[in-house]
């Protein structure tokens, strides 16, 4: 199912993103243990297809790839369960950087963690922007996707389920995204 996201310029979307960032920072915090889990970064902090090919383990840890089948296979590699340990946070409201650190070069896919949600909102940082975004359920199912060519705030609603947000950068300009979700 293809979907076209709408740029959000209203106060609600901006307030929503700021509120989610604040709640996420308060609840999650940044601890030394969190910092220690960050993947090693490539030169200049930009994940490129060449670096990913030479560092497959670090790329997998950073949740970046140039292989679309790897991006899809990563969805079905581990069954997702909301309760208990696993890739799903117990929070139903939060934000994350995609990728978690650094930026992605042209052709690179990046994705966040699985979250229980009904709504996703995001924006890219660098212009010119050109990327395809995805909201995926577990089991290799892309629920919705679209193409964006700006750095505006975008959003999409989805039926309640466990999803992750990801994107592939098509621009020659390195890109990273700030992504928030909620379940209301």
Domain count, the chain: 1
Whether residue 68 lies inside any domain: the answer is yes
Q: What's the distance, CA 183 to chain centroid? A: 17
CB 174 within 8 A of CB 104: yes
CB 136 within 8 A of CB 168: no
Whether residue 158 lies inside any domain: the answer is yes
Report CA Rg, the chain. 15
For residue 45, what are the domain limits? Answer: 6-182
Whether residue 98 lies inside any domain: the answer is yes
Whether residue 50 lies inside any domain: the answer is yes
Closest Cα to residue 101, out of 157, 179, 22, 46? 46
Whether residue 82 lies inside any domain: the answer is yes
- E strand map for 89-152: 94-98, 103-104, 109-111, 115-124, 131-137, 141-148
Whether residue 65 lies inside any domain: the answer is yes
Whether residue 1 lies inside any domain: the answer is no
Per-residue pLDDT of the chain (184 residues; tens, 9 = 90+): 445 555 544 444 544 444 444 444 433 343 344 444 555 789 899 999 999 999 999 999 999 999 988 666 554 444 333 333 345 555 579 999 999 999 999 999 999 999 999 999 999 999 999 999 999 987 657 889 999 999 999 999 999 999 999 999 999 999 999 999 997 6
* CATH number of the domain residue 72 falls in: 2.60.120.380
Q: Which residue in the block uniquely carries the two structure tokens 């994940």?
A: 47
């Amino acid at each position: 199912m293809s979907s076209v996201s709408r740029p959000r310029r209203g106060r609600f979307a901006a307030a929503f993103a700021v509120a989610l960032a604040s709640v996420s920072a308060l609840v999650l915090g940044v601890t030394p243990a969190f910092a220690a889990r960050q993947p090693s970064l490539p030169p200049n902090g930009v994940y490129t297809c060449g670096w990913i090919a030479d560092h497959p383990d670090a790329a997998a840890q950073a949740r970046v790839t140039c292989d679309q089948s790897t991006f899809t296979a990563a969805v079905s590699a581990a069954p997702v369960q909301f309760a208990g340990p696993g890739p799903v946070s117990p929070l139903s409201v939060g934000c994350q950087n995609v990728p978690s650190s650094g930026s992605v070069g042209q052709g690179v896919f990046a994705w966040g963690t699985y979250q229980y949600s009904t709504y996703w909102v995001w924006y890219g940082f660098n212009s010119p922007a050109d990327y395809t975004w995805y909201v995926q359920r577990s089991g290799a199912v892309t629920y919705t996707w679209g193409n964006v060519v700006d750095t505006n705030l975008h959003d999409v609603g989805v039926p309640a389920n466990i999803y992750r947000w990801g994107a592939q950068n098509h621009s020659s300009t390195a890109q990273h995204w700030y992504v928030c979700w909620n379940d209301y």
